[in-house]
Amino acid sequence: MRSSLLLFTLLGLCLLATSLKICAFNVRSFGEAKANNRRVMALLVKIIARCDLCLVQEVRDSKGTAIPTLVRGLNSLDKSHSYSHVDSKRLGRNAYKEQYVYIYRTDMLHVQERFQYESPMEANETDVFSRDPFIVWFHSPNTLVKDFILVGQHTCPKNAMREMDELYTVFQAVLRKWKTENVMFLGDLNAACGYVTIKGWGSVRLRSDPKFHWLIGDKEDTTVREKTHCAYDRIVVRGKELLSGIVANSAQPFNFKREFQLTEEEALEVSDHYPVEVDLKPSHRYLLHHEL
């Protein structure tokens, strides 16, 4: 009995150690100023180094230097891994532009294809999305689920519910293009507090369709400020295979303010959002190889 319990504990620790962590982090106006702030960058590197794959949002850097600086910091911190990135074009309807950037460990993940979504528009209509989703197909040799699609999205707060509903149409486009339901939506969806209504949720197909699983609950807090308690940032999963490949109860915000013992002012220099994260289970073959 005792040996069985010990084996179960060791297997649990092995699973925790070798799972693949996926994160989404709105870094709030990440550009040249933050990249030149050594203290902020040191914290950002520590936060993102916890992730094997991280969607960074609100990249606002017309010179294109901030993300390479961040990736260099990650590669300097952790010599056991090699980091790279794949980024969207600069997105926005007017002079205000943002990019989505996926930073990932190249020794653990491969980019198969990428897809900058563009909303189909009828005559005299405007695009539903302020910033169209950036979609990437990743291959992960060492996880139970080998191939999965990430759909990064940062909604416009005032239009959050309509944009979240339109993500259902995005899913249909992904399904047609790549013939897989293993799709994860992640990012700052502004899916809480004053930007959503209880009545309105019923018309959001991504929410009302039970085949989409919202892993970050409505009662979570993904905001840094003490005066707010809102689950703005979410992870939503579709596909039985992908859902079964997720480590139970691993989806959560990462409170870096508490973890690194920062004041609210210090934490806000990094971002006003906490990252959200979820872990994928390692493959049985990968576990067996490392146990041996």
Instruction: Place 11 in a pLDDT band, splitting at 50, 70 and 90.
Output: very low
The predicted-structure confidence for 81-96, as pLDDT tens digits, reads as follows: 899 999 999 998 888 9
Query: What mean pLDDT comes out for the span 263-270?
Result: 98
* Structure tokens, 102: 């996926």
pTM check: above 0.85: yes
Helix ranges (DSSP H) in the chain? 2-18, 32-35, 38-48, 66-77, 160-178, 198-201, 205-208, 240-244, 256-259, 264-270, 284-291
Q: What is the DSSP letter of 105?
A: E
pLDDT tens digits along 98-151 = 999 999 999 999 999 999 999 876 545 668 999 999 999 999 999 999 999 999
Q: Is the pLDDT of residue 10 over 60?
A: no
Query: Given a cut of 70, is residue 17 above it in pLDDT?
Result: no
Contact 165, 206 (CB under 8 A): yes
The first and second tokens of residue 123, run together, are 């005559």
Angle between helices 66-77 and 38-48 (to 10 degrees): 60
pLDDT attached to residue 78? 79
Element (H, E) at 7: helix 2-18
Q: Which domains does the chain have, with CATH numbers?
A: 17-291 (3.60.10.10)
Q: Residues 171-220: pLDDT tens digits?
A: 999 999 999 999 999 999 999 999 999 998 999 999 999 999 999 999 99
Q: How far apart are the first and last CA of the chain?
A: 23
Residues tagged active-site:
98, 154
pLDDT in tens, 215-243: 999 999 999 999 999 999 999 999 999 99
